[in-house]
Amino acid sequence: MSNFKVKMAYDGSSYHGFQRQDNALTVQEVVEEAIKKLFLQDITIFGCSRTDTGVHANEYYFSFHCNDKIQINSRGIVFGLNSKLPDDIAILSCEEVDESFHARYNCIGKEYKYIIHNSEIKDPFLRTRVYKYWYPIDERLLNKAAKHFVGTHDFRSFCTNADEKENTVRTIHRFDVERYGDKIIMIVSGNGFLYNMVRIMVGTLLFVNEGKIDESDIPEIIEKKDRKFAGRTAGASGLYLNKVYY
């Protein structure tokens, strides 16, 4: 049995996230259908992460096992799958790995990018790939505020629908906010992320920008461990899974 580790990128605008669902089109479903056409058999892929509806990936990994009788190498998988996938999903690389490798369970960290189009004028070419926000952003204030998230904390205040027994402690290694023209780029990396965690942290920073909370209030919001004290959940269109670490 061969095991392959595959890196891909996708525009999530047309998909209800990565993970297969019964009543909605997902990235996993489309990729598995392409693999079925290439290998002429049903193969389940294992993704490195769930992503929400409309969220994108600059770098996403999945792994899958296949029968050794199938004579196709890593290069053939890259070009074979790309020939069968739609234009909003691209296979970037493929390598054969140890049979025990699992794209999710072997992952030790992720980096997310969040892009805000900070302008009074909409851009029709970016409408599904950024979060549109017209109110002027003080990127230096938000960069200072973002540093409160760095470190090991219980992020229960920054996730949606967390079970009481769920471990909501995560370590954030980096959270930077920078401006490039009318684009605000936020980069956050950590050992793991909870459901909607990045989007809620971004929404909380936007509350700081709007004066609804003070940047110095963030440590207290973390300590409260209650979602109602954090900011809104920022839109999915600006979020990208940017890097995956193994």
Residue 28 has pLDDT above 80, yes or no: yes
Spatial separation of the C-alpha atoms in residues 30 and 18, rounded to whole Å = 10
CATH classification code of 2-97 = 3.30.70.580
CA angle 144, 157, 135 (to 5 degrees): 50
Q: How confident is the model at residue 144 (pLDDT cuts 50, 70, 90)?
A: very high
Spatial separation of the C-alpha atoms in residues 60 and 28, rounded to whole Å = 11
**Residues identified as active-site:** 52
Residue 165: the pLDDT is 80
Please give the model's pTM, rounded to 2 decimal places.
Answer: 0.94
Tens digits of residue pLDDT in 49-90: 999 999 999 999 999 998 766 678 999 999 999 999 999 999
Tens digits of residue pLDDT in 106-130: 999 999 999 999 999 999 999 999 9
Structure tokens at 166: 């769920």
Tens digits of residue pLDDT in 193-246: 999 999 999 999 999 999 999 999 999 999 999 999 999 999 999 999 999 999
* Domains in the chain: boundaries: 2-97, 109-245
Q: List Cβ neighbours of 215 (8 Å cut-off, separation of 6 or more).
A: 141, 142, 144, 145, 148, 208
Structure tokens at 38: 């290439």
Record: fold of 109-245: Alpha-Beta Plaits (3.30.70)
2-97 and 109-245 in the same fold: yes
